[in-house]
Chains A and B, each alone.
Chain A
Amino acid sequence: MNPATVIRTLVIIGIVGGLELACRTGALPHTVIIAPSAMVASIIETLSSGELNGDMRQTFGAVAVAATLAICGGFVLGFLIHMSPRLRRAIDPLLGAYYAIPHVAFYPVLIVIFGLGAGPLIVLATMLGIVAMIIATLGGLDRVPRVLLRTAKVHGLSPSQELFLVRLPAATPHLLSGVKLAFSYSFIGVVAGEFILSTAGVGHAIAFSYDNFDNYRMYGLILFIIGFVVVVNTTILFWERRMVARRGTR
Chain B
Amino acid sequence: MSTAVASTFATRWRDPLIVLAVILAGWQSLNLWGGDNVMTSPVATVRHAVELFGQSRFLPHLRETLTAYFVALAIAVFGGVSFGVLMGAHKLTGEVAEPIFTALYSIPKVTLYPLILLSFGLGIQAKIAFGALHGIIPIVIFSMNAVRQVNRTYLRTARAMSLTPMQTVRHIIIPATVPEIFSGLRIGVSLTLLGTMLGELFASQRGLGFLLMTAIDIHDVKTIMALALLISIFAVLVNSMMLAVDRKLHARL
A45 CB to closest chain B CB (Å) equals 19
Chain B residues with CB under 8 A of A8: 95-97, 99-100
A9 CB to closest chain B CB (Å) equals 10
B144 CB to closest chain A CB (Å) equals 14
In the assembled complex, A156 has its CB within 8 A of some CB on chain B: no
Number of interface residues of B (CB under 8 A): 58
B213 CB to closest chain A CB (Å) equals 8
Please, how many angstroms separate the alpha-carbon atoms of A8 and B98 in the complex? 10
Task: From B96, B100, B193, B216, give the contact of A102 (CB < 8 A).
Answer: B193
Chain B residues with CB under 8 A of A75: none
In the assembled complex, B54 has its CB within 8 A of some CB on chain A: no
Is the pair B111, A112 in contact by a Cβ cutoff of 8 Å? no
In the assembled complex, B201 has its CB within 8 A of some CB on chain A: yes
Most chain A CB within 10 A, of B16, B107, B198, is at: B107
Is the pair A97, B239 in contact by a Cβ cutoff of 8 Å? yes
* A101-B212 contact, Cβ under 8 Å, with A32-B118, A222-B111, A222-B114: no
Is the pair A104, B239 in contact by a Cβ cutoff of 8 Å? no
B218 CB to closest chain A CB (Å) equals 12
Chain B residues with CB under 8 A of A111: 216
Task: From B18, B38, B92, B112, give the contact of A112 (CB < 8 A).
Answer: B38
Interface of B is mostly: helix
Chain A residues with CB under 8 A of B193: 100, 102
* A109-B228 contact, Cβ under 8 Å, with A31-B118, A207-B202: yes
B8 CB to closest chain A CB (Å) equals 13
Is the pair B19, A94 in contact by a Cβ cutoff of 8 Å? yes
Is the pair A100, B236 in contact by a Cβ cutoff of 8 Å? yes
Please, how many angstroms separate the alpha-carbon atoms of A61 and B39 in the complex? 28
In the assembled complex, A225 has its CB within 8 A of some CB on chain B: yes
Chain B 2-28 near chain A by CB (<8 Å), digits 1 or 0: 000000000000011011000000000
In the assembled complex, A248 has its CB within 8 A of some CB on chain B: no
In the assembled complex, A149 has its CB within 8 A of some CB on chain B: no
The bracket for how many chain A residues form the interface is 35 or more
In the assembled complex, B117 has its CB within 8 A of some CB on chain A: yes
B217 CB to closest chain A CB (Å) equals 10
Task: From A7, A11, A101, give the contact of B235 (CB < 8 A).
Answer: A101
State which residues 7-39 of A face B: CB under 8 Å.
7-8, 11-12, 31-33
Chain A 61-86 near chain B by CB (<8 Å), digits 1 or 0: 00000000000000000000000001
Chain A residue at minimum C-beta to C-beta distance from B198: A104
Chain B 187-204 near chain A by CB (<8 Å), digits 1 or 0: 101100110011001110
* A113-B228 contact, Cβ under 8 Å, with A89-B15, A104-B198, A206-B111: no
A208 CB to closest chain B CB (Å) equals 11
- Could you count the A-B residue pairs with CB atoms below 8 Å apart for me: how many are there? 161
State which residues 87-101 of A face B: CB under 8 Å.
87, 89-94, 96-97, 99-101
Is the pair A105, B111 in contact by a Cβ cutoff of 8 Å? no
Chain B residues with CB under 8 A of A196: 198, 201-202, 213
Stretch touching chain A among B153-161, B163-171, B219-227: B219-227
Task: From B19, B106, B198, give the contact of A91 (CB < 8 A).
Answer: B19
Is the pair A96, B106 in contact by a Cβ cutoff of 8 Å? no
* A105-B231 contact, Cβ under 8 Å, with A192-B110, A229-B108: yes
Chain B residues with CB under 8 A of A32: 115, 118-119
Is the pair A33, B39 in contact by a Cβ cutoff of 8 Å? no
Residues of A within 8 A of B (CB): 2-4, 7-8, 11-12, 31-33, 86-87, 89-94, 96-97, 99-109, 111-113, 180-181, 184, 187-188, 191-192, 195-197, 203, 206-207, 210, 215, 218-219, 221-222, 225-226, 229-230, 233-234
Please name 29 pairs of A and B residues whose Cβ atoms are closer than 8 Å in the assembled complex, sorted by A.
A3-B92, A33-B119, A89-B16, A96-B240, A100-B190, A102-B190, A104-B198, A105-B197, A105-B212, A107-B201, A109-B39, A112-B224, A113-B38, A113-B39, A181-B106, A184-B106, A188-B109, A188-B110, A192-B108, A196-B213, A197-B216, A207-B114, A207-B202, A210-B114, A219-B115, A222-B112, A222-B115, A226-B112, A234-B103
